[in-house]
């Protein structure tokens, strides 16, 4: 016992006498709690915050001068599609240059669990795929929900049918395994086949397993437009019967006829919380959405997967039926052609076939006139010609509602986009500007310029509130013992530069970013370091 005490004392004294790895000095520190900024210093040892206070007399391997800068916890991107590009390029440039240090995956799809048939995508289990990403090397931290769609495909493929009892039990076991492997909860994306084919009862069954581990149910709901009230009701039911918190991913009232519904939706959320449920939401800061062009087609057309989908589009009789449904304003599915109001509100961003790249930046109305077809016929023709889905932007929301949502006390923020570099093949297509600008846009346009919320509140929502929401520990705050995920930015200049016309433009104003105590952005430039970690959810078991 005396030996153990002596060794412990020596280690303590060694750590106490060791110089700080970094001291960040002279900045205005916003600790993430929502309190106003205070001019003070931050001492970092290894991967943790060691002290906050006056460190003028202390030694450090390197001092970082933050005069005139805001110093805050790193930001959390609550809905990221960076998992797949990270497998090729882990630098996370478009988000790091906005101060994002934690990417959250899992809206419907996740990196596993795969079945043996899909093993080409990587290891079978959720945990093994996430760990492999960390081992490959990523500059920022990352976490993930397990995708309800991924689990459904694991057992049912792309078929439009309910699981039998044995299959449902296996799906629940996969959720259990993934929660113990570090998943944050279960994520769904219910407008997209095959997720669309899942019943409420199936989602409740999966959510119950996540709830046992302190997980959360998150959802791109079955509707954000004409049937948004019914979709929120379903999410609330899943939360109640699954006995777990729920979060609406990228909250919006989509389509001009639905803008007025937002107040009613917010009242539903307030009512659910008032009776003891935990219903929250996140958002991105634009009036334009982005998804595939196939969101304009009925989900049944995609039953069975891509090849069967293309066969139906090529069949004259089936094609006629699909176009007829697309041109109807009354459907039991989320019809993005109808929600857009006019085809000019659908912007074409990305194709698989280089022969169609001349259409990038045009809208569906433009192409319909070129083709001499109706908008619905044009969309079908484009998907067939591209041999698959096409990336698009849809202009569906109103600025008034965006600002109303930003003010909500429970709202957090997401890009709903990849994190990529403005170089190479990425420049051959367009993307939604939220890929490069969502977080800087909040701090520049909505905080500094339009004063929708104060800076300290924005930082709180981007950091500590987000970290609490996903159930991870020792992140999201500048506090002794917390991981040193730190962003140093100029509050007077931070701004998004990306536009729909010229999206591949990095945000400006972020000067330094540290992830787990390692500088990944220095003076605005990437250092090449990859200290990012797989951040596990509350149910993780060693």
C-alpha distances (whole Å) from 443 to each of 447, 460, 495 are 5, 12, 7
Helix, strand, or coil (residue 315): coil
- Transcribe 157-203 into DSSP letters: TT-SS---HHHHHHHHHHHHHHHHTT--EEEEETTSTTGGG--HHHH
Kindly report the backbone phi and psi dihedral angles of residue 393, in degrees, each rounded to the nearest multiple of 5, phi listed first: -115, 140
Cα→Cα distances 270→232, 260, 277, 404, Å: 12, 17, 10, 15
Q: Across the chain, what does the average pLDDT equal?
A: 96
Q: What is the pTM of this model?
A: 0.95
Interval 359-380: pLDDT, tens? 999 999 999 999 999 999 999 9
Question: With left for phi above 0 and alpha for psi between -120 and 50, is residue 513 left, alpha or beta?
Answer: beta
Cβ contact 510:524 at 8 Å: yes
Distance CA 288, CA 31 (A): 32
Helix, strand and coil percent figures for the chain, each rounded to 5: 40, 20, 40
The pLDDT-based confidence of 123 (bands split at 50, 70, 90) is confident
According to DSSP, the β-strands at 246-248 and 279-283 are parallel
Tokens encoding 22: 């970094």
The pLDDT of residue 13:
45
402: confidence class by pLDDT, cuts 50, 70, 90? very high
Residue whose structure tokens are 């495909």: 153
Which residues are CB-contacts of 414 (< 8 A; sequence separation ≥ 6)?
Answer: 77, 78, 79, 80, 104, 249, 250, 282, 283, 284, 438
Q: What is the mean pLDDT of residues 485-493?
A: 98
Strand (E) positions, 351-476?
391-395, 411-413
Over the stretch 313-349, which tens digit does the pLDDT of each residue have?
A: 999 999 999 999 999 988 999 999 999 999 999 999 9
Q: Do residues 436 and 298 lie in contact, with contact meaning Cβ atoms separated by under 8 Å?
A: no
Tokens of 122: 């990587």
Residue for token pair 């689990």: 151
For position 329, what pLDDT does the model report? Answer: 86
Q: Measured between alpha carbons, how far apart are the two ends of the chain, in Å?
A: 27
Q: Which residues pair with 216 in a beta bridge?
A: 185
């Amino acid at each position: 016992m005396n030996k153990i005490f002596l060794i412990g004392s020596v280690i303590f004294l060694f750590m106490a006498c060791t110089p700080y790895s970094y001291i960040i000095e002279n900045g205005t520190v916003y600790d993430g709690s929502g309190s106003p900024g205070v001019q003070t210093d931050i001492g970092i040892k290894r991967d943790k915050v060691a002290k906050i206070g006056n460190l003028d007399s202390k030694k450090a391997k390197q001092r970082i001068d933050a005069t005139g800068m805001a110093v805050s916890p790193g930001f959390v991107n609550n809905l990221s599609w960076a998992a797949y590009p990270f497998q090729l390029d882990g630098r996370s440039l478009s988000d790091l240059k906005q101060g994002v240090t934690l990417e959250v995956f899992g809206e419907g799809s996740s990196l596993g669990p795969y079945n043996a048939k899909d093993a080409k995508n990587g290891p079978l289990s959720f945990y093994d795929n996430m760990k492999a990403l960390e081992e490959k090397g990523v500059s920022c931290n990352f976490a993930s929900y397990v995708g309800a769609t991924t689990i459904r495909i694991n057992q049912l493929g792309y078929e439009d049918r309910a699981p039998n009892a044995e299959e449902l039990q296996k799906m629940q076991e996969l959720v259990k395994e993934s929660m113990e492997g570090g998943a944050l909860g279960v994520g769904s994306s219910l407008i997209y086949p095959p997720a669309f084919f899942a019943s409420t009862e199936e989602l409740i069954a999966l959510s119950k397993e996540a709830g046992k581990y302190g997980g959360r149910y998150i959802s791109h709901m079955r509707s954000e437009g004409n049937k948004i009230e019914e979709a929120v009701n379903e999410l609330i039911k899943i939360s109640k019967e699954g006995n777990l918190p729920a979060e609406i991913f990228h909250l919006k009232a989509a389509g001009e006829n639905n803008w007025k519904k937002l107040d009613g939706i917010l009242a539903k959320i307030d009512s659910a919380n008032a009776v003891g449920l935990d219903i929250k939401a996140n958002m991105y800061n634009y009036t334009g959405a982005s998804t595939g062009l196939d969101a304009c087609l009925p989900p049944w057309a995609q039953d069975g997967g891509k090849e069967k989908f293309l066969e139906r589009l090529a069949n004259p009789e089936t094609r006629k039926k699909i176009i007829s449904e697309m041109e109807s304003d009354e459907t039991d599915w989320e019809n993005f052609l109808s929600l857009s109001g006019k085809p000019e509100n659908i912007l074409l961003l990305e194709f698989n076939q280089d022969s169609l790249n001349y259409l990038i930046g045009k809208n569906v109305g433009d192409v319909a006139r070129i083709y001499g077809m109706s908008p619905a016929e044009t969309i079908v023709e484009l998907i067939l010609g591209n041999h698959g889905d096409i990336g698009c932007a849809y202009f569906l929301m109103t600025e008034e509602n965006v600002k109303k949502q930003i003010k909500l006390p429970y709202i957090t923020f997401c890009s709903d986009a990849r994190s990529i570099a403005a170089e190479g093949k990425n420049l051959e297509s367009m993307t939604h500007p939220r890929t490069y600008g969502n977080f800087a846009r909040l701090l520049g346009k909505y905080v500094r310029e339009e004063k929708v919320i104060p800076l300290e509140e924005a930082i709180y929502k981007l950091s500590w509130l987000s970290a609490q929401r996903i159930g991870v520990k020792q992140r999201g705050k500048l506090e002794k013992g917390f991981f040193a995920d730190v962003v140093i930015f100029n509050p007077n200049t931070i701004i998004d530069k990306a536009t729909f016309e010229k999206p591949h433009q990095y945000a400006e104003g972020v000067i330094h970013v540290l992830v787990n105590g390692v500088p990944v952005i220095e003076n605005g430039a990437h250092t090449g370091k990859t200290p990012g970690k797989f951040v596990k959810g509350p149910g993780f078991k060693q």
